[in-house]
Structure 1
Amino acid sequence: MEPTENFFRSIVEASPFPVYMCMGEDKLIAIANDATLKAWGKDKSVIGKPFDEALPDLKGQPFSTLISEVYKTGETYYGNNEPAEFIINGKRQVNYFKFTFQAVRNSRDKIVGVICFSTDVTEIEHARQAMEESRQTLYNMVKQAPIGICIINSDNLVIEMVNDSYLELVGRKRIEMENRGIWDAIPEAADLYAPVMDNVIETGQPITAKEHKLLLVRNGIPEMVFVDFVYEPIRGFDGEISAIMVIAIDVTEKFLARRKIEEAEERARLAVEAAEIGTFDLDLITDELLTSEKFNKIFGFERNVPHDLFVKALHPDDIELRDNAHKAALVSGKLFYEARIIWPDGSTHWIRAQGKVYYGSINKPLRILGTLLDITEFKHLQQQKDDFISVASHELKTPMTSIKASMQLLDRLIKVDPSSDKIPQFINRGNSSLNKMQQLVDSLLNVSKITAGQLTLYKTNFLASQMISECCDHVRLAGTHELELTGDTELELYADRQRIDQVVVNFVNNAVKYAPESNRIIINISKQDDMVKISVQDFGKGIPAEKIPHLFERYYRVDTSGIQYSGLGLGLYISAEIIDRHGGQMGVESEIGKGSTFWFTIPLN
């Protein structure tokens, strides 16, 4: 049963959406509910008027033509977000509608009019346009961005947009990227990055990475690169993820440059550690001092301590020197001084401080960065050298004076009494002095050869006992000491006889020199596995334990009683080098009041 006209009108009037109906070819407005009149900006006076007459605002717009077309053909027309311009309250206004134009037929199936069902989607369309405008703005920004950006559809992973920077990063042409699946375009990155993208799409959470290592095939060539990247989800108007924006920056050069700097810093750190150098950073504004572990150890501290404790550790006589050096550094920009410090245990050490002053914008000194070196051993060696020069001068001067005196006396005797029986005595005295000078010069030459690595060995086979007996004849002839040769007297050596002779003579001479009150010296020969050991034992006062570690140093001379002995302090140093060249070892055992035993070992063959 068909509804009555009044029932139909009541349904239309009750609709919250615009509904109107035009009748006949003239398109007379037969029905227009309140929602329609509000959308048109009209009142009920338009009802009964032709569509074109009632709505002159729509002239030139497609609606009148569409109604006529539906009236003639009977085919329904669907409009989607179509704009309609009206003058409402004196102002031109554009609204958007989603609508349907549908033919109205009578009981004989004849078309008598056209009914329109519509929905005002203006707000939705404005939002969509705003979204599209934002998207277009984003795309324009992407194109112009100096960093690589690629926008990928989240449904099919097809690349929607890619800028030139991204193309350069991945080494592809635009035709190889746009409108293609991302993993088809860059297959070498799929294993690593496909799970990342899937996670972003699934969770909606962006993912960021720094200096990510990646193998890319760029322009056909595999290259290892490092990239910073962000996978950022893009949401549509409905809040759903519609795309993924990939932002990538090639940081390979920065990464490699930083790694070079880090490697250089590490090498510098290792070099500083290897060189036993301490470092410091002194803030001239706050007086705060930052020190390295080695710096603290050079000062005798096991931990960081305040600045004033380092200053207090300076020797009282060197504090003014340090203060003057710091004052001069503020003017010259360079800090340098050498000073003594006193450790917590009371021992004295030498330091060398060097640094550079850094200035602020107004040329105000801000900080000093520098290094600290323990030069105690250097100062000790320097003192030894000074002592050596003094001793060498004295040692050479004595025989030279003797020779000069002998020559002067010989000159007088020859003139006065050429046959005098004293002439041979003066000649022998001069020869003795010359021999002593020869020994001194030989010692200096040996040190020079050792330093230059030119100490050559000439090895032969010989009996150890025979060599010892021959080299020690001068002691037996002097008659002041008794020599006892013990051990394996049949042991044969393969070594440089002259050099081993030199070592044994040095041991025996030292026993005579430093143990004059003991007239007994024991020389022992023994075999230890594939080595031979020769030792020289005296029964003198012995050597203090603190002096033993220095015995084989250059220029070191043992003085246990205040007595000044002759010699250059080179004998044991040269002996140790000779034994080392033979592949052996040298050592000493000593006990105060009981004497000392010097020994060395060398291979039998």
Structure 2
Amino acid sequence: MSDQIPFLTEKKLLDVLSLYHYGIAIHIGEDAVIQYANDAMIAIWGKEKKDIINKTLEDALPELKGQPFIDMFKQVWNEGLTISGTDTRADLVVNGELQSFYFDFEYRAVKDDTGKVIAILHTATDISERYYSRQREQTLSEEMLAMNEELSASNEELISTNEELVQSQIQQRELYDELAESTARFRAMVQKAPVGICIIRAGDLFVPEVNDAYLELVGRERHELEGRTIWEAIPEAAAYAPIMDGVIETGIRFEAKEHELMLPRNGELTTVFVDFVYEPIAYDGGNQAIMVLGIEVTEKVLARRGIEEMEQRIRLAVEAAEIGTFDLDLESRKMVTSDRFNAIFDFKENVPWRTFASVIHPDDNERRLKAHDDAMKNGKLFYEARVIYHDNSIHWIRVQGNVLYKDDKPYRMLGTVLDITHVQRLNQQKDDFISIASHELKTPITSLKASLQLLDRMKEAPSPVMLPKLIEQANKSVQKVSSLVEDLLNVSRTNDTRLRLNKTTFTIAEMLNNCCNHIRVAGKYDLKVTGDEQLQINADEHAIDQVVVNLVNNAVKYAPDSLEIILNVERSGNFAKISVSDKGPGIPPEKIPHLFDRYYQGESAGFQNSGLGLGLYICSEIIKRHGGQIGVESEVGKGSTFWFTVPVE
């Protein structure tokens, strides 16, 4: 549908991930080369993005040497497993100082369809504040216990003397003030914590304390939680009541990752994904409270699922098109291929790169080698060749690929292969059909010509014997031609005549230098390409080439004495302008408005003196489909310049 929202490109997806406020990074290889890291992960590491991307983890973060994380990455890469941790300490150099931080993290192996590990997804959440808060809370609890013990001792001493009673009261007041101050600090830490925190009493499940982040997470106002039981306040989460009861009874924390919940958002229940923890708080010999920590990870989950869905759609599209894919390491010459790729080369399994190359037809091998040499220079691989199957049958393939560079050196090639045997056979059938049609038309036309010539000779003295026979023969020939033309029209009507554009991005000057080889080989005319040699457009290269060839052919045909033909490229606003200029006799002004009309024919002395009059009309239609314009500037006696424009983007 024309109004369908386009899917995000890979770059835009990465840009979305970069906005995520929890650390995400993608590592490649046993040494954990950092291929991608979002802003949150870069902030956690305390480094500049330029100092870590495309470096191994040990080179980017040398302070990790001696810590367990580098070995964990190697284990995940080699064994294809997932390693995660909570409240894990890591010593990192931040602002030039080695500091200790605590993280919840996960190293997850990402595999391709064959089960081979191709990357490691690294997620991390800095929970240092939570960790230190819990430590301080435990310290406060111990202090409170000590205070209670001291208070008991003080009460016993109060019985013995009034003076001791007064002193004890003073001490009690000091302890109370300290306790109040500690409680205030604790509440301030809870309120300012970057994650949702809710304190629930173990005995009655009432909520004495909750921070704003938790209220935002569950979509509630403060008065809806405080002074009520947790399940009364958040009934949609009551399914987790048995889990919380288990935490209260056993004192064992419960941790959940990416749990799906229905929580209110903008007045409606919406599906969200949450990481949360039930952490028991024990004092006075029992579990007295549960601290709930929650973080919404909906964006992360949806982004990951979007990437997975996009990969699945791409995979289905490739399979539906019966396209084979390959990944070639240009240094080691090791190549990973899809099952379809193997089948197109008549192999049942992946074989070495040279084995694939060995089944290319000997007559096409030079073309293949040249295509690979050109790809190392321009980054694009394209060639068509024949493959010899094990049963000696011949099949045609089309190979396309892109070369990846590292430090300006090609190191990897990704590409596709398509079986075009059927297309080649159709083309051969088309050529055979045209040959047969031409032969069939030639015979009656020759007979008709002979009859007309004899009739012309005897027009002054017609022979009563020969005249009827010649007329009859001429009518038969005309009838034969008419029948053949009707057959051709019937064939044409059965075909889809709409002009389709297969757009790619290419350099115009490069296309001009490669076109019109039939003119260059003859050696008579000099085709000179001038102008912007780097300008690129996104268009149907074959169709644009067809337009240029038609214009050059016209220059040769109608300006035969103009031995130099100029092909110029320039940018005009948002368009690329391509022109073909000659120094021939020029075109009369009265003919110029009609040059691009269908079937237009001029007199024999005019511009168009042969053909069907479709060449320039087809050129015009091609350019119109591209959203451009076509025209001509000419002056009699000085030459002509045919030009057309194509949008740059």
TM-score calculated relative to the size of structure 2: 0.48
Q: Could you tell me which amino acid in structure 1 is paired with residue 264 of structure 2?
A: V
2:483 aligns to what? Answer: 439
1:180-199 residue pairs with structure 2 within 5 A?
180-190=228-238, 192-199=239-246
Distance, in Å, in 1 between the alignment partners of 2:203 and 2:247 is 12
Aligned position for 1:144: 192
Distance 1:237 1:372, change over 3 A: farther
2:274 aligned to 227, 239, 247, which one?
227
Displacement of 1:411 in angstroms is: 0.9
Equivalent-residue separation in structure 1 for 2:482 and 2:324 (angstroms) = 46
Which residue of structure 2 lines up, in the alignment, with residue 376 of structure 1?
A: 421
User: Which one of the candidate residues 320, 325, 334 is aligned to 2:366?
Assistant: 320
Overall identity of the aligned pairs, in %: 55
Matches within 5 A, 1:61-210: 80-82=148-150, 97-101=153-157, 141-190=189-238, 192-210=239-257
**Cα 1:149–1:273 shift into 2, 3 Å:** same
Aligned residue type for 1:224: T
- Note if 1:419 corresponds to 2:463: yes
Offset, 1:424: 1.5
Higher RCO (CA < 8 A, seq sep 6+): 1
The equivalent residue for 1:354 is 400
Work out whether 1:407 is the aligned partner of 2:452.
Answer: yes
User: Does the aligned pair in 2 maintain the 1:213–1:227 contact within 8 Å?
Assistant: yes
Aligned length: 344
CA contact (8 A) 1:147 1:248 kept: yes
1:195 positional shift: 1.8
Deviations 1:159-188 (A, max 9, x none): 243232221111112232234321122112
Contact 1:172 1:219 in 2 (8 A): no
> For the structure 1 residues 189 and 318, does the alpha-carbon distance in structure 2 shift closer, same or farther, using more than 3 Å as the test?
same
CA distance in structure 2 between the aligned counterparts of 1:136 and 1:283, rounded to whole angstroms: 62
In structure 2, relative to structure 1, the CA distance for the partners of 1:354 and 1:430 (3 Å cut) is same
Q: Which residue of 2 is the match for residue 304 of structure 1?
A: 350
Residues 145 and 403 (structure 1), Cα distance of their counterparts in 2 relative to 1, 3 Å cut: farther
Q: Which amino acid aligns with 1:436?
A: K
CA 1:299/1:399 → structure 2, altered by over 3 Å: closer, same or farther?
Answer: same
Match for 1:174: what amino acid? R
Q: Which amino acid aligns with 2:466?
A: K
Question: Structure 1, residues 454-511: CA drift from partner, whole Å, max 9, x if none?
Answer: xxxxxxxxxxxxxxxxxxxxxxxxxxxxxxxxxxxxxxxxxxxxxxxxxxxxxxxxxx
Whole-angstrom CA distance in 1 between matches of 2:207 and 2:154? 31
CA gap of 1:365–1:174, structure 2 versus 1, over 3 A, is: farther
Paired AA for residue 193 in structure 2:
A
Q: In the superposition, relative to structure 1, how do residues 267 and 418 fare at CA in structure 2: closer, same or farther (>3 Å)?
A: same
- Structure 2 SS opposite 1:406: helix
SS at match of 2:249: helix
Are 2:446 and 1:398 aligned?
no
Deviation for aligned residue 1:99 = 4.6
* Compared CA separation, residues 113 and 309, structure 1 to 2 (3 A): closer
Cα distance in 2 for partners of 1:377, 1:284 equals 31
Which whole-Å CA distance do the structure 2 matches of 1:197 and 1:179 have between them?
19
Distance 2:313 2:337 in 1: 19
Aligned-residue offset at 1:257: 3.1
Q: Report the Cα distance in structure 1 between the residues aligned to 2:186 and 2:453, rounded to whole angstroms.
A: 110
Q: 1:142 to 1:307 in 2, by over 3 A?
A: farther
Alpha-carbon deviations, 1:551-584, whole Å to 9, x = none?
A: xxxxxxxxxxxxxxxxxxxxxxxxxxxxxxxxxx
Alpha carbons of structure 1 residues 412 and 259: separation in structure 2 relative to 1, 3 Å: same
SS at match of 2:424: helix
SS in 2 for 1:414: coil
Partner-residue secondary structure (3-state), 2:294: strand
Amino acid at match of 2:446: T
Distance 2:417 2:483 in 1: 42
User: Which residue type is aligned with residue 436 of structure 2?
Assistant: V
Q: Which residue matches 2:319?
A: 273
Aligned to 1:72: none
Displacement of 1:426 in angstroms is: 1.6
Question: The residue matched to 2:391 in structure 1 has which SS?
Answer: coil
Please report how far the alpha carbon of residue 352 of structure 1 lies from its aligned counterpart in structure 2 after TM superposition.
0.8
Which residue of 2 is the match for residue 255 of structure 1?
A: 301
- Distance in 1 (CA, whole Å) between partners of 2:493 and 2:345 is 37
Q: Is the 8 A contact 1:172 1:218 kept in 2?
A: no
RMSD across aligned positions (CA): 3.5
For 1:396, the aligned partner's letter is L
Match of 1:363 in 2: 408
Amino acid at match of 2:423: F
- CA positional deviation for 1:329: 1.7
Report SS of the residue matched to 2:333: coil
Partner residue of 1:339? Answer: 385
Matched, 1:387 2:443: no
Q: Give CA deviations for 1:89-138 in whole Å, capped at 9, x if unaligned.
A: xxxxxxx954513667xxxxxxx99999x99xx9xx99xx99x96x9877
Change (3 A) 1:113 1:189: closer
Q: Note if contact 1:341-1:351 (Cα within 8 Å) is conserved in structure 2.
A: yes
Q: 1:282 aligns with which of 328, 342, 348?
A: 328
CA contact (8 A) 1:349 1:374 kept: yes
State how far apart, in whole Å, the 2-side matches of 1:282 and 1:350 are.
Answer: 21
What's the offset of the Cα at 1:377? Answer: 0.7
Deviation, 1:379, is: 1.0
The equivalent position to 1:216 in structure 2, one of 225, 238, 263, is 263
Alignment partner of 1:407: what SS?
helix
Distance 1:103 1:216, change over 3 A: closer
For residue 363 of structure 1, report the CA deviation from its aligned partner: 3.0
Shift of 1:438: 1.9
Could you say if the C-alpha distance between residues 438 and 296 of structure 1 is closer, same or farther in structure 2, counting changes exceeding 3 Å? same
Deviation at 1:403, TM superposition (A): 0.7
Q: Distance in 2 between matches of 1:432 and 1:314?
A: 51
The CA distance in 1 between the partners of 2:389 and 2:378, in whole Å, is 30
Partners of 1:247 and 1:311 lie apart in 2 by 59
Larger Rg over CA atoms: 1
Q: CA deviation at 1:404?
A: 0.7
The code of the aligned residue for 2:229 comes to: G
Distance, in Å, in 2 between the alignment partners of 1:97 and 1:310 is: 89
Q: C-alpha displacement at 1:140, in angstroms?
A: 5.0
Question: Which deviations, in whole Å up to 9, do the C-alpha atoms of 1:29-65 show, x marking residues without a partner?
Answer: xxxxxxxxxxxxxxxxxxxxxxxxxxxxxxxxxxxxx
Secondary structure of the corresponding residue to residue 358 of structure 1: strand
Structure-1 separation of matches of 2:240 and 2:481? 84
CA apart distance, 1:421:
0.5
C-alpha contact (below 8 Å) 1:171/1:218 kept by paired residues: yes
Letter of the 1:101 partner, please give it: E
| In 1: Cα distance, 2:326 partner to 2:290 partner | 51
Q: 1:270 to 1:172 in 2, by over 3 A?
A: same
Alpha carbons of structure 1 residues 244 and 321: separation in structure 2 relative to 1, 3 Å: farther
Structure 2 residue runs without a partner (length 5+)? 1-146, 498-649
1:391 aligned counterpart, secondary structure: helix
Distance verdict in 2 for CA 1:202–1:304, change over 3 Å: farther
Q: Structure 2 vs 1, CA of residues 399 and 137 (structure 1 numbering), >3 Å: closer, same or farther? A: farther
Q: 1:227 to 1:381 in 2, by over 3 A?
A: same
